[in-house]
A and B are shown apart, each in its own frame.
Chain A
Amino acid sequence: MESDRKRDRRSWDWSSPHCRTQLDDIFFRHHDYIQAGSAEHREFWTFFDRFQRFKTKKDMCSSEGGSRNAEDAKRKDKGKSSKMDIGLPVEYDARYRINLSVCTRDIEERLGKTGHRSRDKSSGPGDQEIADCRLTLLHFLDFWQKQSFSKLAKLRREQKNLPIYQYRDKIVELVRRHRVVVVAGDTGCGKSTQVPQYLLSAGFSYIACTEPRRIACISLAKRVSFESLNQYGSKVGYQIRFEGSRTTATKLLFLTEGLLLRQIQHDRTLAQYQVVIVDEVHERHLHCDFLLGVLRTLVSERPDLCLVLMSATINIKLFSNYFGGAPVLQVPGRLFPIQVIYQPIPPEEQPSRSEKLDPRPYLRILQGIDHRYPPEERGDLLLFLSGVAEISTIQEACQVYATHTRRWIVLPLHSTLSLAQQDKVFDISPPGVRKCIIATNIAETSVTIDGVRFVVDSGKVKEMSFDPKAKMQRLQEFWISRASSEQRKGRAGRTGPGICYRLYAESDYDAFAPYPVPEIHRVALDSLILQMKSMGLGDPLSFVFIDPPPASSIQTAVTYLKEQGALDNNGDLTSIGNLLSQLPVDVVIGKMLVLGSVFNLVEPVLTVAAALSVQSPFLRSSQQNPDCSTACQPLHSNQGDPFTLLNTFNAWVEVKGERGGGSRKWCRRRGLEEQRLYEMVNLRRQFRDLLRSHSLLEGERNAAPDGDRGQRRERLTERRKLHQLKRDHEHQEKSKRKVLKLEEGQDGDMSSGSDTEDTRRRKKDKEGSGQDVDIQEVKFKLRHNMSELQEAVTVSQDMSSRHQALLKLLLCRGLYPQLAIPDEHNTTRKDSDQVFHTKNKQGVVIHPTSVFASDPEVLHVPEHDARETGPDHKESTKHQLLAFVTLLETNKPYLSNCVRIPALQTLLLVANSVDSNADCTRLVVDGWLEVELKEPEEALKVLSTALTLRTEWERVLQVQLGQSAQAESAAPGVSRKALEKLIDGLVRFLLYTEVIYCLQRLTALQIQNLYIGPSSDLSRSKIPDVNPLFPGAKLKPHHIKGGLIVTSFFTYNCLADSRDLYSECLRTFWSCPNCDLYMPLTPLERMTHEASCRPAGEQQQLEEEEAGREKATSSSVSSLTRVFHCDVCNEDLTLTPTEILKHKRQHMYSVK
């Protein structure tokens, strides 16, 4: 009625934007509590509409019960008579329930503050409209207060309800009193979120809390900052490898175990923290065990440091004892009762070794649930299997059942799925339908799914173990431990009472190991030992680990690091080792980075190193999709997988440069997980920074003020906008879970590239901007300079065959000794049956994801080139080997990430041990590969070139690394010219060496009788007095192999070879291309000569360099000359090696 009146009076329309603007001028001015244009302002007008509707409805109702007011008055009178009057107004008004008032323009004007009454009465809002608006505003403010307060109250209620809440004071007190405290509590007790908060609110600051997983750092920081009412501040932050929210205001930091260890490398005593909380210590990750060891020593060094270990109630004594009987606070978990049903698989359904898993026991459980429990009773099923293959077998069978009954949605869950697919397990199933999540042990700890009522436990797990002898990782299936079994069971009781079906007998359970094998006992310790060395922790064998790894395992790692040149013979860090210890990657990949920067091949090496350090972006499931694999075809390189990865990354960057967020679609079409590419680009950036900080790379190119002022301003605005987007995303509340469709999962894995995900995301972003915000794209833009990246990509895209050859060599030197040789019969085998051999493992195959799995011919010796000389011996100039990144045994031993390399050339350039016979036509590399060369002449030439190249390579490497160690010192580095020359030499050697040879593995029998062994005086008499390759070092006989050590890797004439007896007579006439020398020489003599005799121009340059270096010694003699005592003349002569040879030759002829 009221509104009718208004409309009659004037043309006032509440829904007109014009009218609203007029009110905005009164209530929402720029200095008011709510400003026009803000989010609250928008909310207000939405609220306004609702409130008006509500009021109209209420007005209509209240007109019927008009007599109530009189009744109220009566009541009031009665009250007055009986008790004291509390002074309430007689008439009810909702306005009285609001405890605030607001002063707006109309009131200011009424109070006569200003004279300018500019409001136009005839068209502007009348008093009634203003009053209406004011009342609504008050209600809106009140509503807002109530909303926020109820959030707060709910939060506090939930905190109080956590089992750990009653131990709050106890925990704080224990931490105040003791240096080390163990808090043990089972799933759901709230320790991870609450303990850091308790300490924070008790006044501790500078708290670090480590988590084994990056994702946990982020989600905990988010949760805890919300709970501690600091959602929009930075008091609580996180830091993981590439990102963080830490500021100077951060008092509580969640970070990964690995990252804290890295911090200790730089800040020995962790002075920046007052409290360190180590969460999930029972998981016994490598980093965690090591961290505990380091913290244990730190606690005694820093009396002001408090340490809190948090664990599930597993093996608590171990932790307490390790820290000298630290007090333990045990908190009960919050689990609902779980019924355990043992249902061992009957023998006829047991899977035999080669067969697929029998799905019948699993289907029976699904059926049983359908029979016993009405579909209205909600509750999902979580099924634990050991691996991906098992999951797809059971998924297939369950899907058939699900399609038939329409009561299940079957979802796989494992780490090789795309993140979007993994995310599906959190979505909700429609009423009457249950989720059946088939997972690996990822769902045991890493991923927590609420709403699970049934757990099916196969009792199996696939675990990685390391075979130090074969340097091979092994993924094997084991029975789980009792602790894991309990953990799996617990997943059924998070939201209500549950049931756990165990597909094994109770007696099996009793026979399980109590705890899983800690990671430190299962993996290669190379990186760990390297890190220990760089932290100065002394002898790794004497370090007190909570559960020491086997000494042999440490020894293997130390030996390996020595082989790799990271440790010297005393076990101390070398300069390259020091660098490697700073890189958060495998030693192998670290080496590539170092080599790449030394050889000016940084851009592609950075990409390859990053690509090899993250999971492959190629999703397994979509590579079986013909569309995806066709789309991927242009990315493939038959040089090897690292090159495919390089192409992929480059193409991706190009797409990003052109289409920005469109790269997501590009990736989907190719079955690529874009997340991995983002990881690569981040890692790449980190590698670059690390190399820079070690002066291995030149500093940032002067950030030239490219572009004019306007452009710069534009960029700045852009960045600001991006930052805002990122913040918005971070503060966005968890978007509502989507309801799954029954058809979900029916089309199986193939749909990973479908568009469903896209539409889903679009719905999630209800931001109204219409644009689909891709947070990864935003972060990418913030972190990386696109043009710089494109430039880097261009560099590695236009790679010449020369660069490619060099890149291969560097990769190979990094990967060495991870080499494999194709089996000699591969040419006659099917593509899928190609076999390879490594030094310690025979009969390995190429992983189906590798380019060589689909294109093995490129590894064969070309037919037209090969000449069969025997049953197994093929002569060719084109033998190839594979260098590989990983050797992993699952059902078969698989090689992954392989590169093909020219065999002889690469071996001579990278192998640690090359042994030869007398005329060097037979070479044995690393005691397992035999090279037989046809022509002694060629053999000598090749060997000699390789020796010279390697010597120079070592020199360059040493100088560059030494230089970086001294950081910015004025010491002259390797001249550009010398480097170019070396690169040229290496490339020439790799590409243009045309030598015919056979390549084969040695048989066990051959290996037994490989060497001459240390021999009589006869061989000793042959020792030349000088070794010109390494001036100053004497040629010594090898104590085990026999023969002579020429360089650290080359031993001459130690192979048991019938021709050996005649080595002295093997002289052939030879003319030196560089000097006039023409005489019969033994192979060794010839090599010696070649090493010292250089072309005239170069000789001069070399001498100049030498002279410069040796000026201090004031020796006027050329450094190549040595004092030589001739036994025949009985005289001391100062001669160059060539001169010595000539001199000796004289005597020989004279004797004869």
Chain B
Amino acid sequence: MEQNTHQSSSKTFICQLCDLTSPYSYYGQKPPNTRAIVLLEECFVTRDPFSPDKEKFLVLGSTCSLCNSCVCVGQDCSLFYTKRFCMRCVNKHLDQFPHQIQAELAKKKDRSKAGVS
């Protein structure tokens, strides 16, 4: 039983920003049984739990190309634009991102502020 514990915890993905925790089954760019699909970054991948098809996968997260922190693919934690950036790094280098992305982020910020107040 104790062994089981270690086994399952050793393959757990944890987002360093939001703490999202979930077991993963593969790390890399070519998840098994995905045929012609290639990931453009090294990802933590699990089988898509919401699909009845066993061969569908779900990317949980990957590492930030700048700071190497492990982040989930959630909009609040990271974004992908040719590479993966964690939100902290995005904010640090915001000016280098195209205006489409900047505008989107600003809009999101406004919305979350409105939600809080």
- Interface size of A as a range: 35 or more
Given contacts A72-B98, A86-B93, contact A230 B59 (CB under 8 A): no
Q: Which residues of B contact A145 (CB under 8 A)?
A: 58-59, 73
Nearest neighbor of B12 in chain A, beta-carbon distance: A201
Contacting residue for A33 out of B7, B35, B95, B101, CB 8 A: B35
Contacts A86-B93, A99-B41 given; does A204 touch B66 at CB 8 Å: no
> Which chain A residue lies CB-closest to B48?
A148
Q: Which residues of B contact A82 (CB under 8 A)?
A: 95
CB contacts under 8 Å to B, within A230-255, are 230-232
Q: Which of chain A's residues have a CB closer than 8 A to the CB of B37? A: 33, 100-103, 141
Nearest residue, chain B, Cβ from A275: B1
Given contacts A96-B82, A99-B43, A99-B84, contact A731 B59 (CB under 8 A): no
Check if B112 is an interface residue, CB within 8 A of chain A: no
- Return B21 CB to nearest CB of chain A, in Å: 7
Contact check, A79 vs B96: say whether CB atoms are below 8 A apart: yes
Cα distance, A613 to B12, chains bound together (Å): 49
Q: Which residues of B contact A1059 (CB under 8 A)?
A: none
Q: Is the CB of B38 within 8 A of A99?
A: no
Chain B binding site: helix, strand, loop or mixed by DSSP?
Answer: mixed
B80 and A97 within 8 A (CB): yes
A469–B97 CA distance with the chains assembled, in angstroms = 86
Whole-angstrom CA separation of A83 from B96 in the bound complex: 9
The reply on B117 being an interface residue by CB < 8 A is: no
- Measured CB to CB, the closest approach of chain A to B111, in angstroms, equals 15
- Contact of A232 with B49 in the complex, beta carbons under 8 Å: yes
Fill in one digit per residue for A433-452: 1 if any B CB lies within 8 Å of its CB, else 0.
00000000000000000000
Residues 1-26 (chain B) with a chain A CB within 8 angstroms: 1-5, 7-8, 20-23
Closest 4 CB pairs of A and B: A203-B5, A229-B49, A203-B4, A92-B98
Contact B38 A203 (CB under 8 A): no
Of all chain B residues, the one with the shortest Cβ separation from A75 is B95
Within 8 A of A (CB), among B39-64: 39-41, 43, 46, 48-56, 58-60, 62
How far, in Å, is B19 (CB) from chain A's closest CB? 8
B74 within 8 A of A: yes
Q: A99-B43, A274-B1 are in contact. Are A149 and B36 (CB under 8 A)?
A: no
B86 at the interface (CB under 8 A from A): no
Contact B38 A100 (CB under 8 A): yes
* Across-interface contacts of A203 in B (CB, < 8 A): 1-5, 7-8
Instruction: Please measure, in the bound complex, the distance between the C-alpha atom of A100 and the C-alpha atom of B55, giving whole angstroms.
Output: 16
B74 closest partner in A (C-beta):
A153
Q: Are A76 and B96 in contact (CB under 8 A)?
A: yes
| A205 near B4: Cβ-Cβ < 8 Å | yes
Chain B residues whose C-beta falls within 8 Å of the C-beta of A88 in the assembled complex: 81-82, 96-98
A100 — which chain B residues lie within 8 A by C-beta? Answer: 37-40
Query: A89 within 8 Å of B by Cβ?
Result: yes
Q: Are A232 and B98 in contact (CB under 8 A)?
A: no
Residues from chain A with Cβ under 8 Å of B98 in the complex: 72, 88, 91-92
B36 near A731: Cβ-Cβ < 8 Å:
no
Please give, as numbers and ranges, the residues of chain A lying within 8 Å of B72 by CB-CB distance.
149, 153
A205 to B8: give the CA distance in the assembly, Å.
12
Tell me, rounded to whole Å, the shortest Cβ–Cβ distance linking A58 to chain B. 11
List of B residues within 8 angstroms of A232 by Cβ: 49, 51-52, 54
Mark out the residues of chain A between 115 and 172 whose CB falls within 8 Å of any chain B CB in the assembled complex: 141, 145-146, 148-153, 156
Residue of B nearest to A232 (CB): B52
Residues of A within 8 A of B93 (CB): 79, 83, 86
Q: B79: nearest residue on chain A (CB-CB)?
A: A97
Q: Which residues does chain B contribute within 8 Å of A89, judged by CB atoms?
A: 82
A149 in contact with B73 (CB, 8 Å): yes
**Contact residues in B for A231 (Cβ distance below 8 Å):** 49-50
27 CB-based A-B contacts, threshold 8 Å: A40-B56, A72-B98, A79-B95, A88-B96, A88-B97, A92-B98, A97-B81, A101-B37, A103-B37, A103-B38, A141-B37, A148-B48, A148-B49, A148-B51, A152-B20, A153-B20, A156-B21, A156-B22, A203-B1, A203-B2, A203-B4, A203-B5, A205-B1, A229-B23, A230-B49, A232-B54, A274-B1
Contacts of A87 in B (CB 8 A): 82-83
Compute how far the CA of A97 lies from the CA of B46 in the bound complex, rounded to whole angstroms: 21
Q: Within 8 Å of chain A (Cβ to Cβ): is B113?
A: no
| Residues of chain A within 8 A of B73, CB atoms compared | 145-146, 149
Whether A318 sits at the interface, judged by CB under 8 Å, is: no
A67-87 interface with B by 8 A CB criterion: 68, 71-72, 75-76, 78-80, 82-83, 85-87
- Report if A32-B95 is in contact (Cβ < 8 Å); known contacts: A88-B81, A153-B74: no
Q: Cβ of A96 and Cβ of B1 under 8 Å apart?
A: no
Give A251 Cβ to nearest chain B Cβ, in Å: 10
* A residues less than 8 Å from B3 (CB atoms): 203
Give the residues from 72 to 107 in chain B that come closer than 8 angstroms, CB to CB, to chain A.
Answer: 72-74, 79-85, 89, 93, 95-101
Among B8, B34, B99, the residue within 8 A (CB) of A201 is B8
A232 CA to B47 CA, complexed, in Å: 11
State the B residues within 8 Å of A (CB). 1-5, 7-8, 20-23, 34-41, 43, 46, 48-56, 58-60, 62, 65-66, 72-74, 79-85, 89, 93, 95-101
Q: Is A104 an interface residue (CB 8 A)?
A: yes
Closest partner residue, chain A, to B93 (CB atom): A86
A202 in the interface, Cβ–Cβ < 8 Å?
yes
Across-interface contacts of B39 in A (CB, < 8 A): 99-100
Interface: A31 (CB within 8 A): yes
Q: Please give the distance in Å from A249's CB to the nearest CB on chain B.
A: 13
Other A-B contacts than A92-B101, A229-B22, A229-B49, 8 sampled, CB-CB below 8 A, are A32-B35, A92-B99, A101-B38, A103-B38, A152-B20, A156-B22, A203-B5, A231-B50
- Could you tell me if B43 and A149 are in contact, using CB atoms closer than 8 angstroms? no
Chain A residues with Cβ under 8 A from B79's Cβ?
97
On whether the beta carbons of B80 and A99 are closer than 8 Å, the reply is: yes
Q: Shortest Cβ distance from A476 into chain B, in angstroms? A: 50
Indicate whether A1075 reaches chain B with its CB closer than 8 angstroms.
no
Bound CA–CA A201/B10 (angstroms)? 12
Q: Please, how many angstroms separate the alpha-carbon atoms of A100 and B23 in the complex?
A: 21
Cβ of A91: which chain B residues have Cβ within 8 Å of it? 98
Alpha-carbon separation in the docked complex, A201 to B56 (Å)? 23
Residue of A nearest to B73 (CB): A149
Output the least CB separation between A59 and chain B (Å). 14
**A716 interface hit (Cβ, 8 Å):** no
Q: Is the CB of B58 within 8 A of A33?
A: no
A98 contacts B by Cβ under 8 Å = yes
What residues of chain B lie closer than 8 Å to A731, measured between beta carbons?
52
Q: Are B49 and A152 in contact (CB under 8 A)?
A: yes
* Cα(A596)–Cα(B50), bound, Å: 50
Tell me the residues in window 18-50 of chain A with beta carbons closer than 8 Å to chain B beta carbons. 31-33, 38, 40
From A80, which residue of chain B is reached at the shortest CB distance? Answer: B96
The smallest beta-carbon distance between B66 and chain A, in angstroms, is: 7
Least distance between A91 CB and chain B CB atoms (Å): 8
Q: A156-B22, A205-B4 are known contacts. Are A103 and B36 too (CB-CB below 8 A)?
A: yes
CB distance from A207 to the nearest CB of B (A): 11
B59 A149 Cβ-Cβ under 8 A? yes
When distances are taken between beta carbons in the complex, the residues of chain A under 8 Å from B49 are: 148, 152, 229-232
Contacts of B55 in A (CB 8 A): 33
Rounded to whole Å, the gap between the CB of A233 and the closest CB of chain B is 9
Chain A residue contacts of B99, Cβ below 8 A: 68, 71-72, 75, 92
Beta-carbon contact of B50 and A99 below 8 Å = no
Least distance between B87 CB and chain A CB atoms (Å): 14
* Closest B residue, CB atoms, query A92: B98
Q: Looking at the complex, which one of A75, A96, A148 makes contact with B50 (CB distance below 8 Å)? A: A148
Question: Chain B residues near A205 (CB, 8 Å)?
Answer: 1, 4
- CA separation between A33 and B58, bound complex, in Å? 13
Looking at B34, B50, B72, which has the most chain A CB atoms within 10 Å of its CB?
B50
Which residues from B are CB-within-8-Å of A71?
A: 99
| Interface pair A92/B100, CB less than 8 Å apart | yes
- Measured in the bound complex, the distance between the Cα atoms of B8 and A231 in whole Å is 18
Specify the chain A residue showing the minimal Cβ separation from B102.
Answer: A75
A85/B36 in contact, CB under 8 A: no
Chain B's nearest CB lies how many Å from the CB of A114? 15
